[in-house]
Structure 1
């Protein structure tokens, strides 16, 4: 499937920070498209929160990503936190 959207990024982030945030959004995509490891999602979210430590910024990035891709960061995190399944797979809308 050809993706024609961009990730919401902050120009002030370092290359390492950009990589961490992009990996988080890639896991969100995977959770909708093919399924993603619950453990990987939760670990990446912890790393993501070091960079995006304010709830407001997290919500803003999540909304931007959802507008671009149709995939919800919040829903993936909430599902991973509440589940004991090894693989998180959400249905696309």
Structure 2
């Protein structure tokens, strides 16, 4: 990983940890695959910190520019899946 996660200066340490965990789950989805429940849990925590849809889109775009990984398709697939399905980015 040769990039920095998009974070905000006004976030607390716990908020930074939660958002970083979400980004990590997205990376895992592209690299190895991840259980959809893990994606949904990380996204729920992310949304507690970033409730605004416009800020979410901004952070998703910044993360994609930094990493090459698109967050939205992974979250959407997890939301539309049932059970213990493994989510794998393409």
> What's the TM-score, normalizing by structure 1?
0.91
Aligned to 2:77: 79
> For structure 2, which runs of at least 5 residues remain unmatched after alignment?
none
Instruction: Give the CA deviation at 1:71.
Output: 0.5
Instruction: Give the CA deviation at 1:41.
Output: 0.6
> Cα RMSD over matched residues?
0.9
Aligned to 1:41: 39
Equivalence map 1:1-93=2 (5 Å)? 3-84=1-82, 86-91=85-90
* Cα-to-partner distance string for 1:36-81 (whole Å, 9 max, x where unaligned): 1110110111111010000010000000000011101111100111
Paired positions, count:
89
**Partners of 2:14 and 2:47 in 1: CA distance:** 14
**Partners of 1:75 and 1:6 in 2: CA distance:** 21
> For structure 1, which runs of at least 5 residues remain unmatched after alignment?
none
> What's the TM-score, normalizing by structure 2?
0.94
